[in-house]
Chains A and B, each alone.
Chain A
Amino acid sequence: EDQVTQSPEALRLQEGESSSLNCSYTVSGLRGLFWYRQDPGKGPEFLFTLYSAGEEKEKERLKATLTKKESFLHITAPKPEDSATYLCAVQAGGSEKLVFGKGTKLTVNP
């Protein structure tokens, strides 16, 4: 069964304090790994797609990387507006559905 585990469950950072979020996965034939951001009371917002080990994607202060077993979302010099829950999801080959992790709730204090 495809599975996604995210850690930590919650993370508090000071503004400017860089850190990483982890997403470990098991999937039968990875078709894609996806990162989403979810603000309170809102639906998730798509951030990145990673397709193969070694791939990296960047957007502003966020950088996502992928290995054969896990993905990291690196946050460099975060700002309070980066506070949100970050969700990781995988898609298996031959499947259209995404399997989501429970998310990491990030709080960035000014």
Chain B
Amino acid sequence: EAGVTQSPTHLIKTRGQQVTLRCSPISGHTSVYWYQQALGLGLQFLLWYDEGEERNRGNFPPRFSGRQFPNYSSELNVNALELEDSALYLCASSPGTVKAGELFFGEGSRLTVL
């Protein structure tokens, strides 16, 4: 069974640019979560999508946004990139809310902002 896949794996952008990160959940999983892991910080919750709807978002500015498609894949968009957006962006999926904390993570997209 394929795990959570994310693309791209690495990317370099400059300040002010925009980036789109993509995530395909495990087959059958309807919930997708996005987390940011910056150097020296723990994983910070960004967004949660379930059944195509944004259900919750963390304490991030509106330039962080995303969506979930009918096939449950998801995109994370970050506009007007800032240096502090440099981080590993992790996508995770779960089969539903019953065991919502048991997340299956992808290997992440490492974003460097210069």
Q: Which of B31, B41, B99, B107 contacts A102 (CB 8 A)?
A: B41
Q: Which of A42, A49, A87 contacts B99 (CB 8 A)?
A: A49
- Interface residue count on the B side (C-beta < 8 Å): 27
Q: Which of A42, A87, A96 contacts B100 (CB 8 A)?
A: A96
A100 an interface residue at 8 Å Cβ cutoff?
yes
- Interface residue count on the A side (C-beta < 8 Å): 23
- Smallest CB-CB separation from A33: which chain B residue? B101
Is there contact, CB below 8 Å, between A98 and B101?
yes
**Given the complex, which residues of B lie within 8 Å of A46, measured CB to CB?**
102-104
**Given the complex, which residues of B lie within 8 Å of A44, measured CB to CB?**
43, 90, 103, 105
Interface hits, B43-85 → A, CB 8 Å: 43-45, 48, 55-56, 58
**Given the complex, which residues of A lie within 8 Å of B43, measured CB to CB?**
44, 87, 89, 98, 100
**Given the complex, which residues of A lie within 8 Å of B42, measured CB to CB?**
4, 87, 100-103
**Given the complex, which residues of A lie within 8 Å of B92, measured CB to CB?**
43
A95 and B55 alpha carbons, distance in the complex (Å): 10
A28 and B104 alpha carbons, distance in the complex (Å): 25
- Smallest CB-CB separation from B106: which chain A residue? A43
A-B contacts, 18 listed (Cβ < 8 Å):
A4-B42, A42-B107, A43-B108, A44-B103, A46-B103, A87-B42, A89-B43, A96-B31, A96-B33, A96-B55, A96-B56, A96-B97, A97-B45, A97-B48, A98-B103, A99-B45, A102-B41, A103-B42
Chain B interfacial positions (CB closer than 8 Å to A): 4, 31, 33, 35, 40-45, 48, 55-56, 58, 90, 92, 97, 99-108
